[in-house]
Amino acid sequence: MLPRTLFTPDHEAFRDSARRFMNEEVAPHEERWQEQGYVDREVWHKAGANGFLCASMPEQYGGAGADRLYSMVLMEEQAFINSSSLGFGLHSEIVAPYLKSYGSEAVKRKYLPRMASGEMIGAIAMTEPGAGSDLQSIKTSAVKKGDKYILNGAKTFITNGWHSDLVIVVAKTDPSKGAKGTSLLIVDTGMAGFTKGRRLKKMGLKGQDTAELFFDNVEVPAENLLGEENNGFIYLMQELPWERMQIAIAAMAKTEAAIKWTVDYVNNRKAFGTPVSSFQNTRFKLAEVVTQCQVGRVFVDRCMELLLENKLDAATAAMAKMWASDMENRIIDECLQLHGGYGFMMEYPIARAYIDARVQRIYGGTNEIMKEVIARSLGLNKA
């Protein structure tokens, strides 16, 4: 395998700490969290105490002021232990950056230090029962009255929703402008009229709490508006490349882990009196998937270099998300096949990885949407 050139010795030292945390504080509880449908709040507090939340936030807001490679390390180490329960990435690298980039100084000082410590858990509420990738179809409304917005609507499929203490809500402030009439509002979950619905039962990611959220005449202070009114769509588009890169990062790490598990399995499992690894089909299949994985790794790492230089465009980020998640699903399927009947047993990590991987092609924008984003960058003529 080609050596990676992204990380410095400081990043690798941080990786050692992250790996210990994942092995000691996460892996032993993963099966229980999968069964109960959410993680213990305690793991959030421990992560905050160890500096594993909001690491890229400036120090004055409780973060470490670190570059996003530290966040990449955390995502990879979580994937390597086959954990799908933690919502740290969304909290630290999607929700918190919106507050940092578009929140007032008062908002940043009020919420970010508490997010960095794990005292408050963040979520973002975009998807609705009738609207996913199509922001024009959002029905949740926010009407300004004096120094407040009156928020009404419902959201679904909200990661960290059940545990959430603050939620960035995507709402229509000018319905006549379609997607360009949306705004982002911070809703503190203690506000009157805000309620959490049931935890949703999912095919995969079973330990990651996902909930419905409801807003009934919630009075949101005007200072909780992120950025300017009706600019929500623009802000969402600006942050999407990093969000999609996070999906690609997790997909690559999980794929590498799946190949490792499979190599270990076929070396130890015997069929007809000989190791499964000795069969040509096994050897050729693994040669194929490790090559595909290496190609994906080089591409995703290069995209991270561009992101750190603020040069990663939306189309290339869409390519990374689409390629990595498609590859992840394809390779994990091949690895499961090489496990034979044991690959269908949940006691083997490949089974849960197979189930969890499926959503990667859906969230962050479906891969069909990614193709449309890429196609638009090509200058193709339209009918």
Which residues are marked as active site?
A: 243
Instruction: Decide if 252 contacts 204 (C-beta within 8 A).
Output: no
Which two structure tokens, joined as six digits, stand for 15?
Answer: 């990786």
Of 165, 99, 170, 162, residue with least CA distance to 141:
170
Question: How far apart (Å, rounded) are the C-alpha atoms in residues 120 and 168?
Answer: 13
End-to-end Cα separation, the chain, in angstroms? 46
Question: How far apart (Å, rounded) are the C-alpha atoms in residues 277 and 284?
Answer: 10
Handedness of CA 163, 231, 179, 370 (dihedral sign): negative
Question: How far apart (Å, rounded) are the C-alpha atoms in residues 84 and 332?
Answer: 15
CB atoms within 10 A of CB 62: 22
Instruction: Decide if 206 contacts 253 (C-beta within 8 A).
Output: no
| Rg of the chain over all Cα atoms, to the nearest angstrom | 21
What type of residue is 106?
A
CB atoms within 10 A of CB 25: 16
Q: What is the DSSP letter of 136?
A: G
- Alpha-carbon torsion, ordered 62, 68, 70, 71, to 10 deg: 80
Q: What are phi and psi of 172, to 5 degrees?
A: -85, 120
Task: State whether residue 214 is helix, strand or coil.
Answer: strand
The enclosing H or E element of 284 equals helix 280-308
Instruction: Decide if 250 contacts 75 (C-beta within 8 A).
Output: yes
CB atoms within 10 A of CB 11: 15
Residues in the chain: 383
